[in-house]
Amino acid sequence: MGKSRLDGKVALITGGARGMGASEAQLFIDEGARVIITDILDDDGKKTAARLSADGKSCIFLHHDVTSESDWDAVLKESLAAFGQIDILVNNAGIFERGTVLDTSLAMFERTMDINVTGVFLGMKTVSPHMVQRKTGSIINISSVAGLNGTPGFLAYGASKW
């Protein structure tokens, strides 16, 4: 097998404790990248990182609330201390809560927007200066077909993915 485009790269994947984020982390590691997975699910995140890299050389876990600017700053600092660079940011963290306009509370709508939209913005805002300084980097923002058309019961989620 030839050299992968991800050999020697470092990826930061939010929402990486389980599901799509954990699968993305596995794929990146299989392609030669080192990975930082972040999440608020500490136990799941630690287990996933240990499963993906028992020695901690290919994958580490960091606690991270994507809605917190100070958490983003801490994750950037800890990631650079661990691996020296970030080449790829995957804004994967997100939530889905079913609700129509009649039964979605303002708090539920704001929570969905904070995680699915503000979290993505904070990630780009925090990591992009490092990438600009290095003159290299990729940012991948995970979206959904739910943002393409209205779907009953997907009010906040659909708005956040639009």
What residues are annotated to the active site?
A: 157
Specify whether the CB–CB gap between 85 and 141 falls below 8 A.
Answer: no
CA nearest neighbour of 126 among 116, 139, 136: 139
Specify whether the CB–CB gap between 15 and 92 falls below 8 A.
Answer: yes
SS3 102: coil
| CB burial of residue 129 (10 Å; 0-12, 13-18, 19+) | exposed
CA nearest neighbour of 59 among 25, 98, 110: 25
